[in-house]
Structures are given as C-alpha cells and as structure tokens.
Structure 1
Amino acid sequence: MMKSFLLLLFIFSISLTVKANQTIRLTTGEWSPYLSEDLKHYGFVSHIVTEAFALEGIKVEYIFRPWKRAYKDALVGKYHGSIVWTKNPEREQYFYYSDLVVAGQSVFFHLKSFSFDWQNPEDLVGLNIGGTLGYKYSLLEELEAQGKINIHRVATDEQSYGMLLLKRIDIFQQDLDAGYEWLQDNLMEQDIAQFTHHPKPIINDNYHLILSKEVDDNQHLMTLFNRGLKRLKKSGKYQQYISESRQGHYK
C-alpha cells in the first residue's frame, strides 16, 4: 500500500513539474513605454507578466503583431492569449481575464513652480490649458463647450511641453507613463526636474492579460498567473518595475 502511494505521489510530482516548465505564447503590440520590441524586457508591462508567470515556473514568449491581428490570433486560439486589454462584455465572452496588470492614468502635467490642485472640473476654470491637435479630452472639451475654459491646441506634444516650460500654459493632459517617457527622451535632466503631475487621475483604464477560452488549460494558467502576480506585488518588484520605467531604465 505504501509503495503504491509513493508511486502515485512521484507520478503526480512529475506531472506538476512538466506543467510548471511549460511555455505560454502571448500576442501583443507596440505601445511604448508599456510594451515594445525596442525596450528591455519588451517594456515594463511585459516584464511584470513575465515575472508573474516565472514565479509559477512558466516561461513566456511574446509575438508582436499589429493590434488588430494580435487580438484576432489570440481570439481563435492560435496563441494562448494577449496583453494588455481593458474589459468589455464582448471580449469577456471569449477570454479569461486576469486580475489587474497595470492601471493606465491620464493626468495633468505641470511645472513644480506652479501651485496646482484640482478635485472637480470647476477647479480648472480660469487656467491656461494646453492640448494637442487630434487628441480627445472628454472632460476638458465638455467644459470648453460650456464656455468655461479655452484649450490652447498645438500640433504636437513637444510643443505643448515647450509651452509649459515657457509658462504659456499652466497644465497639459497626458497619459502618465507616456508623458514621463517623452520627458526622458527629449529633455535635459535640469528641464525634466521642473515637471510633475497632479496625482488625481482624469481617466483610469485598467489593463489585463487575456487568455483564450479556445485553448485547453487556459483557465488553470490564469489561476497560476493571478497567484504569481499577487506574489510579485507583495515582493515590491511590481512597483519597482513601474518606477524604473518612469526613470527611463527600460530604454
């Protein structure tokens, strides 16, 4: 009886080892600084996903595609899944969703020398607000339509940051991580040091790993990923990767 039990235990342990050493294949697209073939670890979001799986003994291979194709290839089960996506009812029919991988935020950038706080839209009335042509600013455009503010639109983000430095505008709406990446890529350290952002987000977007329901064992793999992600967050490395990205360490 004991020998049979030990044999079953041995077989079970081997099956777990095989499962733990598997490779998962995920599609993704270019979205710097979150995801990019040109960044270390393919960007900090890919780094987070890789390390969360690694804590559960699973390797990750990334397949970069245009976003539309990346989604379609994951949808039909050609690959295990894709990173990173927001939730919507249509996608939830076909994919298992992970816990939150990263929260994207749109915030107001401003100079440290400008004393700025806002808690509601009325706090923005009377400010010189910058914007880039072609971008949608739902909150600001609503106020603009009401005649409460004017948005000073220019052709490029570069011009908007320049207007901030020249104090021709007070605030400028931008994605938090994309904004700091632009600063790191284009300005000298002494100029970068002049910038900050208001901590209150204008918009929050929650991004997730999605795994196709067409692939066997994906539900189990999602359970392992969520467990690894919790461990990564608890270790402090999760926040470390985000901070390092904002400091330009993934270039």
Structure 2
Amino acid sequence: MKKCVLIKLILLCLGLSSYFSVAEQHPKPPPLDSDTLLTTGSSYFPYVDKDAQDGGWSVSLVKAVFKHMNTPIYIDILPWQRGYKWALEGKYQGTFPYVHTDERAKSFIYSKRINSIPVRIYTSKEMKVNTLADVTGARLCLPYGYSLSSEQSEFINAYKLSVQRAVDARGCIVQVSKGWGDIGFTNGYLKRDHNSKLLEVFDSVSIIDIPVATIPLYYIVSKELENAQAHIDEFNAALALIEQSGERGQIDARFEAIANQK
C-alpha cells in the first residue's frame, strides 16, 4: 500500500514539475491575422535587449510609433541575418534598427532616425591613447559582415587605418588583446554594467572614452513591398507626432538613464 502511495506521489511531483517548467517558459503567442509583422534581432544593448524594459530602446520607440499609427504589430526576434533576409524578401513589413549604407539603400527605404549609436574605440591594455591622433596608422579589426557608416569610413581614412578581419566581435577583441590588431570599434554603451557578459571579454582591452562617431539607426522597409514608401511616410508622420507630444523624449530619457548607469 505504502509503495503505491509513494509511486503516486512521485508521479504527481513529476507532473507538477512538468507544469511549472512549461509555465516558466511563457511561450510567445502566435501573431493575429490583423497584426503587422516586424522583425528585429537580439542582444544589441540598449536598443534591442530581451531583459530590458519593453524589449529595448528601439523596440519601445517602434511600438510607440505603431500605436500612433493605430496599427497592431507582432515583433519576431530572429537571428539578424535571417530577419534581414526575410524582411528584404517582403515576408516582414519592416525591420530595425539598422545603420545606413549605400549598398543597403539599394534594397531598402529608410525611416527618419529612431536612435543613435555613440561609437568608441578599444585598444590593447599596452597601447596608450590620449588623443585620436595616437591611433594614426593603426590596425583596425572589423568582424566579417560589419557595416561601416560614412562617419566610420571617414575616420578610417582620416587616421590612415589598415583594416583586418575576424569572424565576429569577440574575435576582434582577442586579436587586439593579443597584439595582432591595434583597435576595434564598439558601441559606447557596452562599457556599462548591463553588459556583464560582454564586459568579461572587454576586461582584456581598454575602451577609450573619446567620441569617434555618432551613427543614426533606422527602421527600414524592403523596396520589394508595393506600399513601402507610403508605409515609411506614415511611420515618419507618427514618429514626428511622438516627438511633438513629448512621448519620445520620455522614452529616450528612460533608456539614457539605464544605458548610462555605472
């Protein structure tokens, strides 16, 4: 009898464990037929961050814009390359946040600026940088596929930097820390405590707190979509409305405070 009771208790516990495991995952519900489908990536603090309020700075702004457009949206979080490809093919109405490049502008229409990135450089611990002139002729590491803004290209030309590549951002940090490269670009917010995983790898290099560039970020729509320009026009009009109402200022202030915490 006791053995049967024990077995029942074990089965009950297993059932509850399974229930709580599923409940804790909080699976995202599928989109409604009336939803406009958008896509973005992940782990791009503070602009897109699953642990941040509202999913990040850019996500919060885009949600506010579409609310003023009276358009319900569903935002899919996908690997960046896949989301970009599917947005290009018109499977999604739009994607964000992206920097402007001449090559990308051949395929996408850009909104007005939604955010800006403060760009800094990092160096090896041994390299001494007091002014940007100290990096003249340095070896700059860029990840494969990294899109340079016009400001960054001007910086490279102005300081006669030679460019070498690594598989990803972490690879560039390794190159610089070992002296195989001299400098790399980074989002100026990445030195903050909210990026503990990134800070672990950044411990091996020094982030130089001198502004290099300020790069605008945009919401973009594929030219493959028939309504692309009309959609961007409507988006820009709603963006202007949240600027005039002060809502954008409130969102910006909230995320600037988070991003600048020490």
If the length of structure 1 is used for normalisation, what is the TM-score? 0.57
Q: Structure 2 unaligned runs (5+)?
A: 1-33, 147-151, 164-169, 178-182, 200-206
Q: Secondary structure at the match of 1:222?
A: helix
Q: Structure 1 unaligned runs (5+)?
A: 1-21, 146-153, 162-171, 188-194
Q: Distance in 2 between matches of 1:77 and 1:50?
A: 20
Q: 2:99 — aligned with what?
A: 86
Query: Which digits, 9 at most, give the CA deviation of each residue in 1:77-121, with x for residues without a partner?
Result: 2121111223344433443211112222322579xxx99555xxx
For 1:240, give the aligned amino acid. Answer: A
8 Å contact from structure 1 (residues 100, 206) kept in 2: yes
CA RMSD for the aligned pairs?
4.6
* Alpha-carbon distance, 1:175 to partner: 2.5
Q: Distance in 2 between matches of 1:183 and 1:217?
A: 39
Q: Distance in 2 between matches of 1:109 and 1:97?
A: 30
Q: Distance in 1 between matches of 2:36 and 2:110?
A: 15
* Alpha-carbon distance, 1:227 to partner: 1.7
8 Å contact from structure 1 (residues 133, 155) kept in 2: no
Q: Which moved more, 1:46-55 or 1:237-246?
A: 237-246
Q: Secondary structure at the match of 2:237?
A: helix
Question: Any residues of structure 2 matched to 1:53-64 within 5 Å, and which?
Answer: 53-64=66-77
Q: 2:55 — aligned with what?
A: 42
* 1:32 correspondence with 2:12: no
| Percent identity (aligned) | 22
Q: Distance in 1 between matches of 2:87 and 2:69?
A: 22
Q: Which moved more, 1:59-68 or 1:178-187?
A: 178-187
Q: Distance in 2 between matches of 1:238 and 1:174?
A: 26
Question: Any residues of structure 2 matched to 1:42-191 within 5 Å, and which?
Answer: 42-108=55-121, 118=132, 122=133, 139=156, 142=160, 174-181=185-192, 185=196
For 2:191, give the aligned amino acid. Answer: Y
For 2:56, give the aligned amino acid. Answer: G
Q: 1:232/1:185 Cα in 2 relative to 1: closer, same or farther (>3 Å)?
A: farther
Query: Which digits, 9 at most, give the CA deviation of each residue in 1:156-186, with x for residues without a partner?
Result: 869x99xxxxxxxxxx865234423456637
